[in-house]
Structure formats: structure tokens, C-alpha cells
Amino acid sequence: MTAKIGEQLDLTPVRAEFPSLAMNAAGRTAVFFDNPGGTQVHKGVIEAIANYYLTSNSNTGGAFLTSQRSDEQITGAREAIADLLNAPSARQIVFGPNMTTLTFNLARAFGRTIRPGDEIIVTTLDHDANVAPWLYYEELGAVIKVVDVTTPDCTLDLDSLRSALSDKTRLVAVTAASNAVGTTPDMAEIISLSHAAGAKVFVDAVQYAPHAPIDVQALDCDFLACSAYKFFGPHLGILYGKLELLEELNPYKVRPASNAVPNKWETGTQNHEGMAGTAAAVNYLAGVGQRFGQAWQEKYVGQNFTGRRLDLKTGMSVIKTYEQQLALHMFDGLRTFRDFQIYGITDKALFDQRGPTFAFTWPRLTPRQTSEYLGQHGVFTWSGNYYALNLMERLGLEGHGGAVRIGLAHYNTTEEIDYLLNLLEAVK
């Protein structure tokens, strides 16, 4: 599979590499538009997890073969994620059950440094996993400030952020992509403003990681979290942190556990098989970059990366380009429904500021009824608030069933989108 710069991209051949896409739902092929809640798993991930159980299943640090193999798998997974995020060192990669648990753990450790009068900034746009962990600082005497969004486009209000920042701000917690409406805030500007005020920045990149390249060194963020099951891997959480911060902070742990980074952040026995699968997911994404070759590397990446990092940067750039095409096709179809309320950015000229996630309501069916109807026809979507509680309250939707959410991934097709649109058109 090759493509020249400027050609219409087609990533549909990769569908054969995702076994679940052939799943039969009530006589129909399933259409997975539930991707923001978790993507389908690449076959290489399944094979890596099975191989771990067959050849390496053991706890770590032992003086025997399977334990040593487990150690190697974990090291390989850290290196893979370091490549994906362009982290300086694999020691800066921490694994955990999920992003939410990792964020709560980090918040508890960071909370040891909080003093009365310190200020923490969260946003209306974020998933509650990047809000609730920081709210307990109020019990420590800290002040929580909330940066608002503009409506109806649901973009983060940078003037609100500027007003909230002060010399008392200790941390800014912000999303790289909304899990509800797809907005992708200007992270470079947010991080620059926050650092100028002396604050650390925690980035929730769970919804960004499946759709575009991430470069933590270029961003200069202090912490960044994502989840492997959102980029075609197993259920596993990932935390990146600047090395000096991971070393300085003191997480809660059992006494015999190592005080070294990153081990001191990983409480108890970890999901070793998940780590093996995560490395396989990263290798798959790198493989997408390899398929598209030098022309894409030169246009979208430049010469600052080599090896797997170069392949990953290329692969994620290809995925982003293809998904933008899908998103425009989806939007053109959704906006033909005159009674739809689409939330988020709807100006096609600004689509570079949003990901391929759409939320809508309409008077014909409630959000739950819409998802049930689509599910009965083999199209899987979410309804409700998807834990974006602040945003749903801000939009006035929390007491009315939230909204229907459609999220695209690079294994989706325009034909699947047309099938969805035809189903919606059939509702009278």
C-alpha cells in the first residue's frame, strides 16, 4: 500500500489486520463508531499477549528464564512508548491500570507539595479523570479555578486561562483533545502561558494519541497521560513525566518497593501481558508509517527523527490526514439533518482544531434511544456524558441524557459513514 503526497488516502486495507472488524452482529458486519470509549485491537497485539502467556508468564526480578523474559518485555514496552511520545528516556514512562488511576496516584503525590492558597486550574472541556483527581486539593486549602469554553464551538477560552493564571498557580490540568466534541486546544500556547506563570502542566492525551503524533519534548509538558486501549492496544494506562519531577515527587507505595524511577510509581504487580501488547500496538503504528514511505516522511516529519520514531511520526501523520478526510465526510452528512444540533467546531476551515469525534442531539429520539436504534442495526455509538461532566453541564445537556457520540478511527470507511447516515435518515 503506497500513496503519493496529495492523493486521496485509503487506509481500508488495514481492516484485515483487525480481527474484530469481521464480527457479525445480528447478520450484519459491525460498525465501530464507539472508538472514543476504546478502539478495536490489532492482531499483533493479540498475538503478543498470547505469546507472553505462553513463553514469559512470571513476576519480575527473578533469577530464572520466564522472569527475565518478563523484564525484557517491560523494558521493550517502555522503549516503545518513549518512541511514540518522543520522550527523552524510557525511564520517564510509567504504566498503570488506566489513565484515571495513574492521575489519581500522581495527584496524591503532587498533593504533598500543595500549601493553603495554592491555585490549581482545570477546564470545562476535560474528561472528569482530569478534573476530579485535583479537586481534593481544596481540602488542603488550595483554590480550584475552572477555565471555560466558548459556545457553541466548545473551544477552550484562552482569555479565561490568562485571567485564571497567577503567581500562585501550581498546576494546569488540560486535555489535548475533548473526548466529547473533539476539540483540540492549542497546547503549545497553553503550556507556554502556564510555564510563564510558574505552573506545571498535566496533559490528558487519551483522546489525542490515536489520531495524531505526540512530541512531549516539543510540547515541553511536565506530565502527559494516555491509554493503550485507545490506540489499538490492551487496557493499560500510561504516564509520561519529566525525569526530575518523577524523581522529586514521592508517590505512595509499599516499603520494599524500589525508590528508583519509574518503578516507585508502579504499585504492585503490573499488567505484564498488557505491556507486551502495548509494544505490539506501537509497532503496528510504526508499520503504517513504513508503508507510506519516504515522501510522507519528508513532508510531514522532516529529518529530526530516525528509526521507529520516524516511522511512528510518519504513521500518525498519515492516520491524521486520512481521519480528517473521514471527519469531513461525516460532517457533510450530519449537517444535512436540519434538526440536528452538532456540538463543537462546525466551521470546516477550522477542522484542524478538532479531531474526528462528533456529538449531536435531535428531537426525533433521545440520545440513548438513538444509540439503541443504531446498535440494533450493527452501528455502535455512545450516548450520555462520557464522563465529560463539566462540559455537559455547561451545554445544558446533563439533565437531558447528554448527547450521541460518534468517534472515527483509521479503520473506519466512508461506506460505514454512509450506512450510519442512511439509518438516521430512516428515522421518521
205 with 234, same domain: the answer is yes
Report the share of the chain in percent with pLDDT over 70. Answer: 96
What average pLDDT does range 367-395 have in this prediction?
Answer: 97
Instruction: Give the Cβ contact number of residue 423 at 10 Å.
Output: 17
Cis peptide bond upstream of 13, omega within 30? no
318 with 348, same domain: the answer is yes
Please give the Cα distance from 208 to 37 (Å, whole number).
Answer: 13
176 with 261, same domain: the answer is yes
pLDDT the model gives residue 11 = 86
pLDDT the model gives residue 303 = 61
What average pLDDT does range 55-61 have in this prediction?
Answer: 96
Q: How would you label 83-122 residue by residue, b for 16+ Cβ within 10 Å and e otherwise?
A: bbbbbeebbbbbbbbbbbebbbbbbebbbeebeeebbbbb
271 with 407, same domain: the answer is no
Number of domains in the chain: 2
pLDDT above 70 (res 75): yes
What average pLDDT does range 5-33 have in this prediction?
Answer: 79
pLDDT above 60 (res 175): yes
104 with 186, same domain: the answer is yes
142 with 214, same domain: the answer is yes
pLDDT in tens, 105-164: 999 999 999 999 999 999 999 999 999 999 999 999 999 999 999 988 999 999 999 999
* Residues pairing with 327 in the sheet: none
269 part of a folded domain? yes
pLDDT the model gives residue 23 = 75
364 part of a folded domain? yes
Write down the pTM of the prediction: 0.96
Is pLDDT larger for residue 306 or for residue 343? 343
pLDDT above 50 (res 1): no
Band of pLDDT at residue 286, cut at 50, 70 and 90 = very high
81 with 177, same domain: the answer is yes
pLDDT in tens, 322-335: 999 999 999 999 99
Q: Which three cell numbers stand for residue 82?
A: 518513549
What average pLDDT does range 203-218 have in this prediction?
Answer: 98
367 with 389, same domain: the answer is yes
Domain end among 260, 279, 298: 279
24 with 65, same domain: the answer is no
Which residues contact residue 104 at a Cβ distance below 8 angstroms, ignoring those fewer than 6 apart? 133
- Domain CATH code at residue 340: 3.90.1150.10
Q: What is the DSSP string of 233-276?
A: S-S-EEEEE-HHHHHHS-----TTS--STTGGGS-SS--HHHHH
383 with 323, same domain: the answer is yes
Amino acid at 366: T
Please give the residue range of the domain that contains residue 393. 12-40+314-425
Q: 14-28, 94-108, 239-253 — which is least confidently predicted?
A: 14-28
